[in-house]
Structure 1
């Protein structure tokens, strides 16, 4: 499990930590949330959505996703959030090693689920807008800092 800062330093400062398993997370006093992200690709492009301005990290671009429900697997949560937020269907290809992001008020454990698009046209059902972007275009979008590491992970096998 990797522990990385949550956002660009000018937005929220973050501290690098290397936790020793889950005990490192339980030792922290901030609430911890499990979040699944759908990293959906289609014809060499990746689906991203822009968060509503009033949301946590508002206005930033992100991969679709959300909180993992009770008794729900990360892949199931990623596919559910993808349908709810963007109206897109996909098939799971792989699950990446989790990332841990520490924000000023919370800790988020991110599980990235790599998916292949299978249907539906991207619509901003739970965001301001959606777009399909190449890896090079993703690097130019204003995103939470963790996404730079996620994009590097994608590049390792894409």
Structure 2
């Protein structure tokens, strides 16, 4: 399964994270917003669609920059997943939790302390290393 996620950085330098619905896999954990790439859809187009559906914002596809990826092998009986993380350089609108989950803006240290799915732990470490942050767990 191919998944895309967006890292939105606010004017104050904090990053947007959203909390997974409690009735889903990894429910209640914090992650970068995004979702599955549909058949025939490019990864950037999928991220633009997902940001509209989940956050109600219009993302400039030309301002997406792929910064990291993380994958599972599906060895535990679940499907193999690869997540591609993009920084979202420009968007129109105010992000809102349209699908019922909470959202919040966090700095590096706060994100390191959030409970996250394993792949988001990897993605956040890669993102913050690329953005000059010190060690992130």
What is the TM-score with the length of structure 1 in the denominator? Answer: 0.72
Aligned to 1:55: 24
The structure 1 residue matched to 2:8, chosen from 18, 23, 40, is 40
Count of aligned pairs: 126
Please say if residues 48 and 132 of structure 1, whose CA atoms lie closer than 8 Å, have aligned partners that are also in contact.
Answer: yes
Identify if the C-alpha distance between structure 1 residues 40 and 53 changes in structure 2 by more than 3 Å, giving closer, same or farther: same
Q: What is the deviation of 1:117? A: 4.1
2:71 and 2:103 mapped to 1: Cα distance?
25
Aligned to 2:85: 112
Output aligned runs, 1:10-29, within 5 Å: none
- Structure 1 gaps of 5+ residues are 1-32
Please say if residues 47 and 132 of structure 1, whose CA atoms lie closer than 8 Å, have aligned partners that are also in contact.
Answer: yes
Please say if residues 4 and 36 of structure 2, whose CA atoms lie closer than 8 Å, have aligned partners that are also in contact.
Answer: yes
The structure 1 residue matched to 2:42, chosen from 62, 66, 73, is 73
Q: Which is richer in helix?
A: 2
Measured against aligned partners, the alpha-carbon deviations of 1:102-129 in whole angstroms (never above 9, x if no partner) come to 4531210111111124222221112421
- Structure 2 gaps of 5+ residues are 132-137
Identify if the C-alpha distance between structure 1 residues 89 and 133 changes in structure 2 by more than 3 Å, giving closer, same or farther: farther
Q: What SS class does the counterpart of residue 107 from structure 1 fall into?
A: coil
Greater Rg, structure 1 or structure 2? 1
Q: What is the deviation of 1:98? A: 2.9
Q: What is the deviation of 1:65? A: 0.7
Measured against aligned partners, the alpha-carbon deviations of 1:64-115 in whole angstroms (never above 9, x if no partner) come to 1111011111111112111111112333341134321245312101111111
